[in-house]
Amino acid sequence: MIHRGRAVDLEPLHVRHAPDLWRAAQGADESWAYLGYGPFADEAGLRRQVGALAALHDPMFFAIRPHVSGAATGWLSFMEIRPGDGDIEVGHIWFGPALSRTRAATEAMVLLFRHAMDDLGYRRLVWKCHSLNVPSRRAAERLGFTYEGTHRNAKIIKGRSRDTAWYSIIDSEWPDRRDAMLAWLDDANFDHTGTARRGMASFRAPAEG
């Protein structure tokens, strides 16, 4: 299934995306620091990894294709999919430098969030990351996820112990979070240079208490 947005499309990940992704990854070895794979020595290595990820059903991977370039410049996935409990995670997020910190990157995530919560009716949307991954933690907070705690010694990634920070949005919070995301993404929130006029948090309802 292809998810189409204003600035970006999400397509089921396929090896045909590998040439674009290889170009997107150039000069960005540090972008793989907190993932269990990468960086890659050559395009063939990345192609093998893409093929392996594309064959999975959980995680379920999508290539990110911004309209401005027409090239796949990142990926992300649904994972830890538990329909019986109404619990789903968006993870394995990798953005090439041209995609990172852009409106299209935010929309790519929001497309999956909306599919999970609005279309599929999940009750709980999860975001997890290495506790030392400050950009990921800031992204979760910016998007309106609630910090739930840190699981110590949760995994071993690339030979190093990982403490995992957990965040979530639950169904009762989702309408407010969704509306804030959509208001931030709206054309009216961007000036002629493409800079957002207001931060996403400013569109959310004030916290009670």
Cα torsion angle, 55, 53, 168, 165, sign? positive
Q: Where are the domains of the chain?
A: 3-200
Q: Please compute the mean of the pLDDT values over residues 27-45 and round it to a whole number.
A: 97
β pairing state of 74-82 and 60-66: antiparallel
Say whether 85 sits in a helix, a strand or coil: coil
| pLDDT at residue 111 greater than cutoff 80 | yes
DSSP secondary structure code for residue 72 in this structure: -
Q: What is the pLDDT of residue 1?
A: 87
What percent of the chain has pLDDT above 90?
Answer: 97
Alpha-carbon gap, residue 184 to 192, rounded angstroms? 15
The residue with tokens 């975001």 is 127
Q: Would you state the pLDDT for residue 114?
A: 98
209/195 Cα distance (integer angstroms): 33
196 has a pLDDT exceeding 70 = yes
Determine the pLDDT at residue 209: 56
Can you tell me the mean pLDDT for 70-74?
A: 98
On whether the CB atoms of residues 124 and 89 are closer than 8 A, the answer is no
Per-residue CA distances from 97 to 85, 119, 126, 165 (Å): 36, 30, 25, 24
Res 206: pLDDT: 85
CATH code at 3-200: 3.40.630.30
Instruction: Note the pTM of the prediction, 2 decimals.
Output: 0.96
Residue 207: pLDDT above 90? no
Q: What tokens appear for 52 in the block?
A: 């392996």
Quote the pLDDT of residue 123. Answer: 98
